[in-house]
Structure 1
Amino acid sequence: MKAFLLAAGLGTRLRPLTDSVPKCLVRVGGHPLLELWLDTFRAAGVDEVLVNLHHMPEQVRSHLAAHRGKPQVRTSYEPTLLGSAGTLLAGRRFIGSDDVFFAVNADNLTDFDLRLLLAALEAAPSAQAAIAVFHAPRPEACGILEVQGGLVTSFEEKPAAPRSDLANAGMYAFRRSVLDVVPHGGPVDIGTHLLPRLVGRSVAVPVGDAFLIDIGTPEALARAQAEWPLRGIA
């Protein structure tokens, strides 16, 4: 099983912290987000991880140099950001002949079990994607889905007038066939460019009681640092 850890973002909303530390190396509970994700992948049965890099890549490579055991980790430097969907497309060779792979945003802090995405995809053989979802307090700031019977019937990125509060959590299981749907030419993102093309061909998987924080702002990071140790995980 393979996974993409999407870690190339600049982390601009976390400045000045991310002026000196790439966002995937920000620590919560004494551990970098990168290491927490590797633990999550290991628990989900992932053997190989591709981490895409752009901002301060040498810091990430230096950190990974000490990594031993599973999952095996490789990095891919993007001198110009490809966008999250562009990273998947560029990683076609990494995916190889595997029918299903994970992709997750590295700035998520969660104890969600990725195997639930696999189970949902296996239960819906005609679906090309399983998307983790949550109820957002500010849906206008998220990618918003409408769902009927578990099937995604609409998707809109950061809508001015949201039609639901069910939001994309930035964790996916994809079939390899989605690579044929990703548009070419310029940076392309999963939310903006890929998921709208998968309406009717994606299933939604609620995160339920799982812990989930997008560590995109100093306020979110402070909340994560206060609440994560209480989960008894760090």
Structure 2
Amino acid sequence: MQAIILAAGLGTRLRPHTNICPKPLFSIDGQPIIHRTILTLIAAGCDDILINTHHLAEKIQEFIHNQKYSVPIRLYYEPEILGTGGGIKNLLSHVQSFPVLIVNSDIVTDLDFKNLFETHKSHQYPVTLIMHDEPQFNTVRIEKHAICDFRSGHDSDINIKAFTGIHIIDSLVGDYIPENVFYSITKAYENMIKDGHCIYAHEVKNHYWIDIGTPAGYAKASARFMAQTAFQRIWPNISLSGMTTEKLKGDGSDRSWWRYENHDKSLIMANHGISRVRLPGLSFEKKEPLCTEVESFVRIGNHLHDIGIPVPKIIHYDFFSGLVFVEDLGNVHFQDYIINMKHDLDRVRLAYESVIDILINMSTKGVHDLDNTFTFQTSHYDANMILSFECQYFVNAFVRDYAGLNISYTELEKEFTDLSHAAMEHVQWGLMHRDFQSRNIMFTKNQFYIIDFQGARFGPIQYDLASLLIDPYVPLPDDLQDHLLRYSLKKYKLVDTDVNSQRFNQTYRYCRLFRNLQMLGAFAFLSQKKGKTSFEQYIPLALSRLYKQIKNWSLLPCPGLTNCVEQLNVKINKEV
């Protein structure tokens, strides 16, 4: 049994990712799609496989040559892409025996290739097309197991089915395809029908099939196979039938979150989107950051879990697809937990103290043995990061785009530079979460857990502390904030006896300022540019806190920022 895999396509629907990686090398559960297809063909009894290539052919060749398959894999390069028909014609002269099975490289299926091959051998017709009911692709009219028309549309009430991308052909098909020109195999089949040849339609049911040629199709296929692996990794004897999915409410991130349930077990999947193109044994040139967001999520998450910090256990991941399966921590965020007990201030205080204990532990223990290549965008929270990710963000997204004030970053740059350097003067370096607020803390099994740690890096604990205490999702009274700051310093001194109280508090005040700038920039950007208007409700509180802090500012003078905040306060309050 011989087979042809058509792998020369440009992958236009998956651009820009296919500008770097050819579609056949996109991974499904850690394995390139073409590798999965080859293994399935070999398991079905195929003893010779031919593959046509064109787009990024050298990458496919490099991967195939690095494998040790049990049958010959022959690659044939098309200098000019020839289409489905031209590609097949180009390979037929290398086929040693007929019939030959042909499969597209951009489908994932559990169909039994051996049974399909035997089906073709059971009749006398020159072609067998494997057909199924796939509403979004149904265009082929069938009558009595014969293809009648490839372009019947979707609205007819007659038997309309979709082509799976799998067909078995005899040598006669080659007579209907011209040499060395771009040609569609569908056109060849249409001409065969006109000449009286029957194109046999074999309809299949109760199978799995998906076209991975779109981002949605690729993500769906990846998630299905990864979910199966993830569940069996935790519960080896679990039945995989009856698995359900539920899309969870997102937040400020572009990632999507899903709950996968199977019987009484569940896992959470985070979809970061297709990430850095990196597969084993390949030498793609990369201009991306040293570590992508999904890589940071996995590596920092594993690091924290290994040292005993309460974070969800990472069960399974694939850096290429950007999918990560983690332990399900339920639905109760710290925000919900606190709001439900807001009238019992003693319980609220104790809850915050428990979370601060975790924060101090994460900051002081997490920094040890942390590889700075684990971090996303920057390894350290430093003056440059403050200026780029917080000060410029605040001015561009909030001051100019949202509030409409004609104040440029250049006007405030000198003050921001001086403030950022002052903030870094007496830092207690630790592992900084950078978004340590009530929606990134979960409560389950009488324990608080930290989530969304992919932005962690080396930085001051005071920034995370400020993120928690001035969190607009759960407004805390000033006296409770002051108590929790004192509590934090007291507990931190048990770990670092040399810490200077005055310098600790001073760094906290700078971090509080910059966190407030970052929040206002984020709320404006998310509500205006991303259409997530629910964030806009938190702007007045964040601005009022910034205004109050600036009015009582006694550290490095910043008259330009003070004037800017005063103008913002007048404008926003007037509009509110």
Query: What TM-score results when the alignment is normalised by the length of structure 1?
Result: 0.88
2:108 aligned partner: 109
Q: 1:197 deviation in Å? A: 2.9
The 1-side partners of 2:101 and 2:61 are apart by 21
Partner of 2:93: 93
Q: Distance in 2 between matches of 1:105 and 1:5?
A: 6
Aligned residues: 226
How many angstroms apart in 1 are the aligned matches of 2:115 and 2:200? 11
Q: Aligned AA for 1:107?
A: D
1:186 to 173, 178, 181: 181
Give the partner amino acid of 2:128. A
Q: Which position in structure 2 is the counterpart of 1:146?
A: 142
CA distance in 2: counterparts of 1:80 and 1:143, whole angstroms: 29
2:43 maps to 43
After superposition, the Cα gap between the structure-2 partners of 1:211 and 1:198, relative to the gap in structure 1 and judged at 3 Å, is: farther
Q: Distance in 1 between matches of 2:7 and 2:180?
A: 21
Tell me: CA distance 1:36–1:157, structure 2 relative to 1, closer, same or farther (3 Å): farther
Gaps of 5+ in 1: none
Superposition map of 1:59-74 within 5 A? 59-74=59-74
- Note the C-alpha offset of 1:231: 6.1
**Residue number in structure 2 paired with 1:82:** 82
Which whole-Å CA distance do the structure 2 matches of 1:94 and 1:231 have between them? 39
- Secondary structure of 1:95's aligned partner: coil
* Cα distance in 1, alignment partners of residues 192 and 130 from structure 2: 14
State the distance in 2 between where 1:147 and 1:203 align.
10
Q: How is 1:18-33 mapped onto 2 (pairs within 5 angstroms)?
A: 18-33=18-33
Question: Is there any run of 5+ residues in structure 2 with no aligned partner, and where?
Answer: 230-239, 241-576
Describe the shift of the 1:186–1:157 C-alpha distance in structure 2 as closer, same or farther (beyond 3 A): farther
Q: Is contact 1:103–1:173 with CA below 8 Å preserved after alignment? A: yes
Say which SS state the counterpart of residue 99 (structure 1) adopts.
coil
Residues in 1 aligned to 2:132 and 2:227: alpha-carbon distance in whole angstroms: 21
| AA matched with 1:8 | A
User: What TM-score do the two structures reach when normalised by structure 2?
Assistant: 0.37
Which residue identity does 2:30 align to in structure 1? Answer: G
Contact 1:133 1:168 in 2 (8 A): yes
Secondary structure of the residue aligned to 1:138 is: helix
How far apart in 2 are the matches of 1:5 and 1:104? 5
Higher mean alpha-carbon deviation, 173-182 vs 194-203, is at 194-203
Larger radius of gyration: 2
2:132 is paired with a residue of what secondary structure?
A: strand
Distance, in Å, in 2 between the alignment partners of 1:143 and 1:75 is 32
Q: Which amino acid aligns with 1:174?
A: I
Structure with more relative contact order (C-alpha pairs < 8 Å, separation 6 or more):
1
Contact in 2 for aligned 1:85/1:188 (Cα 8 Å)? yes
Higher-strand-fraction structure: 1
Question: Does 1:224 find its partner at 2:224?
Answer: no
State the partner residue of 2:164: 169
One-letter code aligned to 2:184: D
Q: Deviations over 1:20-65 (max 9, x none)?
A: 1100000011110010011111022111111111111111111011
Distance (Å, rounded) in 2 between the aligned partners of 1:185 and 1:158 = 29
- Check conservation: 2:25, 2:60, Cα contact below 8 A: yes
Q: Deviations over 1:93-112 (max 9, x none)?
A: 2113x121011110011111
**Deviating more after overlay: 160-169 vs 98-107:** 160-169
Cα distance in 2 between the residues matched to 1:143 and 1:128? 22
Q: Distance in 2 between matches of 1:69 and 1:221?
A: 25
Residue 109 of structure 1 aligns to a residue whose secondary structure is: strand
Aligned to 1:196: 190
The alpha-carbon deviation at position 158 of structure 1 amounts to 7.2
1:230 Cα deviation (Å)? 5.2
8 Å Cα contact 2:44/2:112 also seen in 1:
yes
Mark the CA change 1:185 to 1:69 in structure 2 (over 3 Å): closer, same or farther: closer
Identity %: 27
